[in-house]
Structure 1
Amino acid sequence: MKVHNLGFPRIGSKRELKFALESFWQGNSSQNALEKTASNIRRDNWQLQVNAGIDLAPVGDFAFYDHVLNTTLLLGLVPKRFRDIENDIDREFAIARGKQTACSSCAASDMTKWFDTNYHYLVPELDAETEVKVNTQRLISQINEAKSQAVNTKPVIIGPLTYLYLSDYKNGNKLDLLDALIPAYQQIIADIAKTGCEWLQIDEPIFALELEKQWLDAFKTCYQAFETDDIRILLATYFGDISQHIECIKRLPVAGLHIDTVTEPFDWQSIVTQLPGHWIISLGVIDGRNIWKTDLVSVYQQVNPVYRILNERLWLGPSCSLLHSPIDLMLETELDKELNSWLAFAKQKCQELDLLKDAIISQNTETITRYSAPVLTRLTSPRISNVKVRQRIDSLKPTDFKRSQTFSDRKIVQQQALNLPLFPTTTIGSFPQTGDIRAIRAQHKQGRLSSLDYQSEIRKEIAHVITEQENIGLDVLVHGEPERTDMVEYFGEQLSGCAITQFAWVQSYGSRCVKPPIIYGDVSREKPITVEWLKYAQSLTRKPVKGMLTGPITILSWSFVRNDIERSVVSNQIALAIKDEVADLEKAGIGVIQIDEPAIKEAMPLKKSRQAKYSEWATKAFRLCSSSVKGSTQIHSHMCYSEFNDILPVIIALDADVLTIETSRSNMAILSVFDEQPYPNDLGPGVYDIHSPNVPEQRWIKQLLDKAIETIPIDNIWVNPDCGLKTRQWSETKLALSNMVSSAKELRARYSSISASN
C-alpha cells in the first residue's frame, strides 16, 4: 500500500516565493535569483514530504503564479497580445499581471475562483484559431530535478477536459477544441514517460460537477487516445461526490482512480466495488482544505475493510492538493497548547497518512488512538460554546432578515442625505499599505510601540488618505484601512471564538497570501471594531466616508471553520457580530456602510442540486447584518472574481443598495448576465484592474463605462476600481484614480441633462 500526495503548498514555509516574486517584479532581483528560490522551495517540499512518510511526492504542482497558467504555457496557448514577449518568465507574468508599453496597455488574463476555493486561477483564453505548441521543458526539468534528489515522484498535470471546461471560448462549443488538445496531451504524456516515471496523475476535478452527456462522452474519446504501456495514469477527482459519473469513469482506460471521501458525504465504498479489478484505488481520507486533526480511528474503521479487499491496490492520500492548507504547525509557537492539539497543517497531514498506513498494515490501532484523542476532547471543550450566542440565534425572527423599506424608497432618502452626483465615484476600501504602515503595525503587535503612539500613527495615515481622496475628487471616501492586515484576519483578531496564527499562510493568487483565522467556537463581538477609526475619518471631511466591513459568508469562507456544527449556524453567529458593528457605525454618524461579500459565489456548493439550501441561508446571513438600519443609511457590498450567472438571484436577494463588482479583466463581458435579469439596485462595475501595475488611460475607462451604460441605467451606475488598492503603489494609485474621476466627470457632463429630464 502506498501513501501519496496530490500537491503541496508552493509559497514556502515563510512565504519565500512571495518575497522573491515581488522583488523580481520591482526590478530588485534577477530571474536567476527567482529561479533559485523556486528550486529551493521545491527541494524543501519534496524532502518534507518524504520525511513525513510520503511514498510518491508530486512534481509539476509548483507554479510561479498559477498551475492553470502553467498548463496554458505547457500547451503553448499564449494569448495573441503576449506572443511578442520572447522571455518565458516575462511572458508568464504579463499574462498574469498585464503588460504596459510606451504606447499601449495589454490587460492581464481574466482571473476567477478555482471551483469553490479561495484560490484564483488565470482563465485560459481560447479561440477558433487556437494553435497548440507543446513545451514540456519546464516540467521535464522539474521531474529530473526531483530524481536527482532521490525523490520517488509522480508528475501532476491538469486534464484536458477540466482545462477546456474552465477556459474562456467565445466561438461556440469548447469541445470543438478537443481534437487539437488530444495530440498535445499525447506528446506531454510521451515526454513524461521518457523520464522513467511509473505514474502520471491527471487531475479532472470537473467530475465533481453535474456534467452534460457531451462532456462525459468526450472523456471516453479523450482517454482512449491516452492509453499507453509506457506510463500508468492515475485519474484524480476531488472537491465532491463522483458517484453520478461512475459509469463513465469505470470505462476509462486508466490504471487508477483517486476519490475524495471527505468533501461530500456519499457511499464511496460501493463505488470501489464497481471499479475494474486491476485498478489502483486512491482514497482521499485526510481533509486537504481544513486544519483540523483527523480522527484516524474513525477513518481506520472505514478504510480497513476496503484494504482487506484491495490489499496493495489501495493507496491513501489527502482529499485534494494540500495547496489550500498551511505548511507546518510546528512553526506556531503562540497558539495555546489545547488549540494546537486540535490542528494539523500540510506536513502533519502527510504524517497522518503515514500513521494510518502503519495502523492498517499492522492492524494495530494503539498509535492512532493516542493521536486522535484531542479530536474527541475538542467536541466537549467548554471554550467552543457560548450560551448567550446560542440563545440569540434561537431568538431570531423573520423580521430580522429584511429591511423595512423598498430600494426605490430608500434611494430617495439616501440621495437627500448624501447629495451625490450622477456617476458617483468611490473606491472599494483599502489604499496602498506601505512598508512604513506595515512596520507600525508590527511594532505595536510586538510591544515596541505604545497604543497611544500606534493610534497617532494610524490617524496620520487616515488623514493622509482622506486628503488624497479629496484632492483626486472622489465622491464617497474611505479611511484606507491602514490598521488592517487582511479583510478577514482583521475581524478574526477582534471576534471571540476565533484564533489567529503566525505562519498559517495559504496562497490566494500569485504572490498574494492570506492567513485565515481559525473559527474554533461560537462567534461574538465583545466591543466595537472599526467605529473609532471611521468616526475620526468622517471628522476630517464633509464628504461621506464609507464604513468598511467584511460580510459573514466571506469571513466564514476565508477562515478555517469548525466542522462540528452546520456552516449556516456559524454564518448567522458572524452576521450578528457584524450587525452589532453596523448599528454602532450608524449611531456614530456613518451613513454609508459597505459589507463585502466576495466569497458568496465560491461558498456555493458545486452541484446545482445542493445550491438552493445554501442560497437561502447565505442571503439571510447578509440581510441579518443590515436589516435594522434606517432607510437613509446606504448599504454597499462588493464582489470580485466570481462568475455571476448562476448566482444572480442570490445577489439580488441580498438587497444591497449598491453592489460593486469586478468587470475590467473581462472587458465588461460579465455584465451580459444582467441583460436577461437587470440588477434592480445601483451597480458599480469595476473600471480598472487593481491586480495589475498598469495605469488605465481615460479612454480605456470611458470605453468600459460606455459598455456599462448599454446594460445599466445611468442613474444606477457607480464608478470604482475592481477591488481594494492595498497592493498598489501610491504613485500609480493617484494617477489611476484621477483618470477614473476625470472619466466620470466627462460622462456626468454628457448625461446630466438626460438624467434631469428623466
Structure 2
Amino acid sequence: MQKLLPTSTAGSLPKPSWLAEPEKLWSPWKLEIAQLAEGKRDALCLALQEQQQAGIDIVSDGEQTRQHFVTTFVEHLTGVDFDKRETVRIRDRYDASVPTVVGAVSRPKPVFVEDARFLRQKTSKPIKWALPGPMTMIDTLFDNHYKSREKLAWEFAKILNQEARELEAAGVDIIQFDEPAFNVFFDEVNDWGIATLEKAIEGLRCETAVHICYGYGIKANTDWKKTLGSEWRQYEETFPKLQTSSIDLISLECHNARVPIELLQLVRGKKVMVGAIDVATNDIETPEEVANTLREALQFVDADKLYPCTNCGMAPLSRSVAKGKLNALSAGAEIVRGELSR
C-alpha cells in the first residue's frame, strides 16, 4: 500500500562546493572530463543520501548532473548551435543569451538514461526524473530553422518521448516535465502546449507529472511576482485543460504564493504535488507551516491524491538551508498524516 502524503522535491538540490560554485544558478563545473563524470555521480549519491536522511519518500537525482534544466538536455541534441548565440526574452521576464536552432533537431543518443539507471541501483524508493517540457524548451532557444514555435515544440515533444520511454525502462517511477512557460503563454498552452505535452508522454506506463511554477528564487522571478497583484490566477487559465489531459500529477507552487487555494478545485481528480516549501527565501519553514499549507490544500484535493512537494527547485540555496527545508517538508507531512489517520 502506498504511503499517504508521499513527499518529494520539484527537482534540483544545491550542488556541493567541490562540483560547482554554491548558491549560484547555472554555475560552471569546477571539474573536467573523467573527474567531472565521477564528481557528478558522487554528488548524485550525496543528494540521494540527503533526501533519504530527511525522510523524503519519492527521491530524485537532485539534478546534480545538470548545469541547467533545459540547456543540459539540449546540448545532447543535433540541430542546435551553442556557439551561435542570440539574446531572447525568457518567459517575457528577462533577457538571456541562448543557443540557436540551425537545423532539424534530433537526439542521437540517450541523455539522462545512464544517470537514471545509476540512481535506480542506489535506492529501493520510488524515483522521479525531471525533463524540460516542450514549450519551456522552445522559450529557451533562438529558432532560426523551423521559424514556428509550435513546429519546434512538436519536434521536441517527439525527442522527449524517446528519452522518457528509455527512462521508464531504466526504472524511473515518475517522469516530470517542467513547464514554467505554462504560467505565461496561455493561448499557446491551450492551442498546442498541452497537446505537445501529451505527445511527450505517449505510450508511457509509469506515472507522469507536469511542474508549473513561478520560477526559482532569482531576482528576475521575484521582481515579476511583485507585478502580479494580490491574487495570482495564472493556473486558472491552464488547469481546466490539464484536468482532462492524460497527465497523472500536477505540480504547483503554493506556500507563500498568492495563488488562491480554491483553484486546486480545477484539477479535482488528479494527483497534486502541492508546493509547501518556498524556494525564494532562506527562511526555513516550521513543520507546522508546512502542515498548514497541506491542510488548506486538503479542502480541495483528496488525501490519497496529495503529494507534499517544494514550490520549485532548490539549486540556488545553500545546502544547509535546503536540508532544513527538506526536514520541514517531511515533518509537516508527518503531522498531517497523523491527523488523517486519527
TM-score (norm 1): 0.40
Aligned to 2:298: 709
Structure 2, unmatched stretches of 5+, are 22-26, 215-231
Is 1:628 equivalent to 2:210 in the alignment?
Answer: no
Conserved? CA contact 1:644–1:670, under 8 Å: no
Q: Distance in 2 between matches of 1:708 and 1:503?
A: 43
Structure 1, unmatched stretches of 5+, are 1-418, 605-610, 754-758
Q: Distance in 1 between matches of 2:82 and 2:261?
A: 37
Q: Distance in 2 between matches of 1:721 and 1:696?
A: 11
Is 1:442 equivalent to 2:37 in the alignment?
Answer: no
Q: Distance in 1 between matches of 2:189 and 2:28?
A: 37
CA deviations on 1:530-577 (whole Å, 9 max, x unpaired) are 011111111111101212211111101222233753322111100011
CA deviations on 1:106-164 (whole Å, 9 max, x unpaired) are xxxxxxxxxxxxxxxxxxxxxxxxxxxxxxxxxxxxxxxxxxxxxxxxxxxxxxxxxxx
Q: CA deviation at 1:639?
A: 0.4
Q: Percent of aligned positions with the same letter in both sequences?
A: 23
Please show how residues 479-628 of structure 1 align to structure 2 within 5 Å. Answer: 479-501=61-83, 515-562=97-144, 564-604=146-186, 611=187, 615-628=190-203
Aligned to 1:749: 338
Q: Distance in 2 between matches of 1:476 and 1:742?
A: 15
Is 1:464 equivalent to 2:46 in the alignment?
Answer: yes
Q: Distance in 2 between matches of 1:470 and 1:508?
A: 35
Conserved? CA contact 2:90–2:139, under 8 Å: no
Gap change, CA 1:692 and 1:513, over 3 Å in 2: farther
Instruction: Return the match for 2:309 from 713, 716, 720.
Output: 720
Gap change, CA 1:543 and 1:502, over 3 Å in 2: farther
Larger radius of gyration: 1
Gap change, CA 1:619 and 1:680, over 3 Å in 2: same
Conserved? CA contact 1:582–1:626, under 8 Å: yes
Conserved? CA contact 1:519–1:559, under 8 Å: yes
Instruction: Return the match for 1:655 from 224, 235, 246.
Output: 246
Tell me which protein shows more strand as a share of its residues: 2
Q: Distance in 1 between matches of 2:257 and 2:30?
A: 41
Q: Distance in 1 between matches of 2:16 and 2:96?
A: 17
Q: CA deviation at 1:599?
A: 0.9
Q: Distance in 1 between matches of 2:96 and 2:9?
A: 21
Conserved? CA contact 1:636–1:659, under 8 Å: yes
Aligned to 2:262: 672
Q: Distance in 2 between matches of 1:690 and 1:424?
A: 19
Q: Secondary structure at the match of 2:175?
A: strand
Q: Which amino acid aligns with 1:535?
A: R
RMSD across aligned positions (CA): 2.5
Q: Secondary structure at the match of 2:130?
A: strand
Conserved? CA contact 2:10–2:312, under 8 Å: yes
Conserved? CA contact 2:85–2:99, under 8 Å: no
Conserved? CA contact 1:684–1:719, under 8 Å: yes
Tell me which protein shows more helix as a share of its residues: 1
Q: CA deviation at 1:425?
A: 0.0
Aligned to 2:221: none
Q: Secondary structure at the match of 2:29?
A: helix
Q: Distance in 2 between matches of 1:503 and 1:617?
A: 27
Q: Which amino acid aligns with 1:620?
A: A
Aligned pair count?
A: 318
Aligned to 2:287: 698
Aligned to 1:170: none
Conserved? CA contact 2:88–2:141, under 8 Å: no
TM-score (norm 2): 0.85
Conserved? CA contact 2:7–2:57, under 8 Å: yes
Q: After the TM superposition, which parts of structure 1 deviate over 4 Å for at least 4 consecutive aligned residues?
A: 501-509, 512-515
Name which structure has the greater RCO, CA cutoff 8 Å, separation 6+.
2
